[in-house]
Structure 1
Amino acid sequence: MSDTVTIRRLDGDAAMARVHALADVLVDCVEGGASVSFMLPLPREKALAFWRGVAEAVARDERVLLVAEDQDGTIAGTVQLIVAQPDNQPHRADVAKMLVHRRARRQGVAQRLMAAIEHVARDEGKTVLVLDTVTGGDAERLYARAGWQRAGVVPDYALMPDGALCDTTFYYRLL
């Protein structure tokens, strides 16, 4: 599938137009157990409200939103770059909400999204990227293979969608 997906940057209007498709991916990931700030059950309206907020932040140039689209335009995955940072961190950005629909996993979609978001970060003048992920999850292998450096683990940092506590590992990448 990786060869058949297109990675595309959405502007604020395009993001707003795709909130329903983006909500589908978010709901699928949370229902699949991903700890991405939401709990089960995730009401569709809450997922839509989240993506509307993201689209507004994209329109304000506070975030960059990338999507991986199948040949038919279906969104298979997405990732964000939070470029709006404090005054003393103009060189830094956070990578957030790396989401791949369960039907598209283990096909290189996440790897392509990560490479693309790093490229965008360079274009935006960012030299330090930071992200966090569930300790022991599949994403850790992805980030390590992509050259990200493990900064450390915070025990009991967040909850899984079912309410169980989970540790979180922080990573950084110098571009």
Structure 2
Amino acid sequence: MNARIDSIRPLTAEDVLQEAPDGLAELLVDAVAGGASIGFLAPLDAAEAAAWWAAVAGTRAVWAAYGPEGEVLGAVTLVRDDKANGRHRGEIARLVVHRAARGRGLGPRLLATAEAHAAATGLTLLVLDTETGSPAERLYRAAGWTEAGTIPDFAAAPDGTLRATTLFYKRLG
């Protein structure tokens, strides 16, 4: 896999469905194999990963990063709160970078893309959670996110071990 980043672009629900069986599924499989706590246990089957993407198509905003040969190198999703009292906020619900593309600034670029879209569409607050002590936690701190607290034993890591999660928020605008 060529880890050079060619473009980051928004995906429609149709795009997500088209990419789900291959690039997007492979991205999740790679992340879970690498130990990322993103909602799945190892080993993650490609069909299960593709089914997850298909299930969320159209329910969240999705951006994917592509290499020069069209390979998916990363993705980020943004979920808008649909409650009447929460329409000003959203959640970064997945930020995933393929292991072959890490260390090249793709995570911050994907995050900034989702943040800019959120602000441009009227959101004023974003939230997220990530495994405490993970590299992602450092990414969010460096991007100006504020820690709101830690919850012990919040989610199982891919190996099934319960891990703490750190909650973050960021005010936009």
One fold, TM greater than 0.5? Answer: yes
> How much identity, in percent, do the aligned residues show?
42
Partner of 1:83: 80
- Verify the 8 A CA contact 1:85 1:93 in the aligned structure 2: no
Partner of 1:95: 92
Shift of 1:4: 3.4
Partner of 2:15: 14
Name the Cα RMSD after superposition. Answer: 1.4
Provide the C-alpha distance between the structure 2 equivalents of 1:27 and 1:146, rounded to a whole number of angstroms. 26
Count of residue pairs the alignment pairs up: 170
Provide the C-alpha distance between the structure 1 equivalents of 2:3 and 2:107, rounded to a whole number of angstroms. 9
Provide the C-alpha distance between the structure 2 equivalents of 1:15 and 1:4, rounded to a whole number of angstroms. 19
Partner of 1:31: 33
2:114 maps to a residue whose letter is I
Query: Is there any run of 5+ residues in structure 1 with no aligned partner, and where?
Result: none
1:42 maps to a residue whose letter is L
Q: Given the alignment, which residue of 116, 123, 148 partners 1:126?
A: 123
1:9 maps to a residue whose letter is P
Provide the C-alpha distance between the structure 2 equivalents of 1:132 and 1:169, rounded to a whole number of angstroms. 5
- Verify the 8 A CA contact 2:78 2:91 in the aligned structure 1: yes
What does the per-residue CA deviation read over 1:2-58, in whole Å, with 9 as the maximum and x for residues that have no partner? 973311000111111111210000000001101101001212221111010121xx2
- Verify the 8 A CA contact 1:25 1:77 in the aligned structure 2: yes
Shift of 1:85: 2.5
Q: What SS does structure 1 have at the residue aligned with 2:84?
A: coil
Provide the C-alpha distance between the structure 2 equivalents of 1:18 and 1:133, rounded to a whole number of angstroms. 25
| TM-score normalized by the length of structure 1 | 0.93
| TM-score normalized by the length of structure 2 | 0.94
Provide the C-alpha distance between the structure 2 equivalents of 1:85 and 1:92, rounded to a whole number of angstroms. 9
What does the per-residue CA deviation read over 1:53-75, in whole Å, with 9 as the maximum and x for residues that have no partner? 121xx2xxx31000111121111
- Verify the 8 A CA contact 1:128 1:173 in the aligned structure 2: yes
Shift of 1:88: 1.0
Following TM superposition, where does structure 1 have runs of at least 4 consecutive aligned residues deviating by more than 6 angstroms? Answer: none
Structural mapping, 1:37-76, within 5 Å: 37-55=39-57, 58=58, 62-76=59-73
